[in-house]
């Protein structure tokens, strides 16, 4: 499916991660406003820079002025990431890899996690941060894993019911109501786990290094 990368204005991603995603089909890069500052540091040229430009550094904007398509959107009801997502949806991307979506601003981090849920029915957002990668799911799914891989699961209401097979700490018709119960640092005990999901969306957070090494990112 058609996929792209969005670089947000959080912690700068690693250049190697961006190149890995590009080499596996996510060739287009959208910088959400200040995300262009990270692209500049990494010597990565975005295809598009989108936002109200209150975060991009003037020298960065000038540098990319003849290299990237710069799209000014002064819509204050949307964050710059949302503006980039709406652009991706309009251009028929089905999956977005969001980098720099979390960082030293807790409010921005929570907002971008919420955006995964908010846009779930329009586009699939996969967040990569540091050593981990987050996938959203709402239907039964079988995932290739590596025994002893750390896998964490989170849900957000008491209507979401989860049953798992292949995890060290199994879930059976469990609710993972946010703030009451979670499945943090669970462990795969087989080379495949099976998740039965009813009634909502869950986040599955996995080890980025393990998934890259074993070619699992684009199979999840």
- Which domains, and CATH codes, for the chain? 3-130 (3.40.50.10240), 136-219 (3.40.50.10240)
Walk along the chain (220 residues) and give the pLDDT tens digit of each residue. 799 999 999 899 999 999 999 999 999 999 999 999 999 999 999 999 999 999 999 999 999 999 999 999 988 789 999 999 999 999 999 999 999 988 778 887 888 899 999 999 999 999 999 999 999 999 999 999 999 999 999 999 889 999 999 999 999 999 998 888 889 999 999 999 999 999 999 999 999 999 998 888 887 8
> Look-up: residue for tokens 């699961």?
153
């Amino acid at each position: 499916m058609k996929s792209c990368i969005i670089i947000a204005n959080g912690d700068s991603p690693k250049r190697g991660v961006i190149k890995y995603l590009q080499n596996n089909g996510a060739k287009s890069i959208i910088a959400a406003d200040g995300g262009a500052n990270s692209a500049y540091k990494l010597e990565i040229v975005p295809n598009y820079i989108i936002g109200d430009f209150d975060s991009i550094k003037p020298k960065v904007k000038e540098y990319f002025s003849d290299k990237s398509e710069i799209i000014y959107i002064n819509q204050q009801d949307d964050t710059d990431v949302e503006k980039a997502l709406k652009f991706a949806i309009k251009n028929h991307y089905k999956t977005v890899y969001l980098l720099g979506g979390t960082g030293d601003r807790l409010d921005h981090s929570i907002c971008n996690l919420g955006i995964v849920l908010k846009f779930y029915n329009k586009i699939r957002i996969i967040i990569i941060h540091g050593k981990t990668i987050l996938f959203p799911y709402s239907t039964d799914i079988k995932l290739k894993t590596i025994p002893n891989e750390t896998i964490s699961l989170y849900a957000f209401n008491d209507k979401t019911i989860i049953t798992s097979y292949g995890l060290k700490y199994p879930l059976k018709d469990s609710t993972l109501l946010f703030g009451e119960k979670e499945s943090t640092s669970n462990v795969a005990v087989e080379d495949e786990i099976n998740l039965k999901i009813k009634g909502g969306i869950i986040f599955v957070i996995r080890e980025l290094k393990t998934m890259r090494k074993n070619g699992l990112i684009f199979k999840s």
